[in-house]
């Protein structure tokens, strides 16, 4: 996140019932939003412009959402913060997500206030590093 550029949030989910309200929510709070409905689309979106925050569903039509992180590992396109959004509330899922590089794992449906609060924290963490690079 640099200067006055609005943060970019990439929402990776194949359901418009999830992406549409999240897009509206983030746009209304001053963020830019990109949507990807598959692993391949998410990788392309990150390579086109690295998002500041990626919200990643685990179940996508072309594979496990965590494979986005595998595909981008070691690349400048890897988002600084990735958060898994899942309907699976079990320790094994959380462990898999953390091992893959997710900063956090949120259970769907995510309460709106909680998501906005946490997103603001994740994005704010990046601001000092960006300012040091400028």
Residue spans per domain, the chain: 8-124
| Reported confidence tier of residue 5, pLDDT bands at 50, 70, 90 | confident
pLDDT at 89: 85
CATH architecture of structural domain 8-124: 3-Layer(aba) Sandwich (3.40)
Q: How far is Cα 55 from Cα 13, in angstroms, rounded to an integer?
A: 8
The whole-model pTM stands at: 0.91
pLDDT in tens, 88-116: 889 999 999 999 999 999 999 989 999 99
pLDDT at 52: 97
Q: Enter the tokens of residue 74.
A: 């070691």
Q: How far is Cα 82 from Cα 8, in angstroms, rounded to an integer?
A: 12
């Amino acid at each position: 996140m640099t200067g006055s550029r609005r943060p970019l949030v990439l929402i990776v989910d194949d359901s418009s019932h999830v992406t549409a309200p999240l897009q509206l929510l983030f746009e209304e709070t001053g963020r830019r939003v990109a949507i990807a409905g598959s692993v391949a689309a998410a990788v392309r979106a990150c390579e086109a412009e690295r998002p500041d925050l990626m919200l990643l569903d685990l179940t996508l039509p072309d594979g496990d959402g965590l494979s986005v992180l595998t595909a981008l590992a070691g690349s400048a396109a890897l988002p600084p913060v990735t958060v898994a959004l899942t309907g699976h509330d079990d320790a094994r899922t959380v462990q898999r997500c953390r091992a893959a590089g997710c900063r956090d794992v949120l259970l769907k449906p995510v309460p709106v206030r909680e998501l906005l609060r946490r997103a603001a924290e994740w994005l704010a963490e990046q601001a000092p590093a960006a300012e040091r690079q400028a």
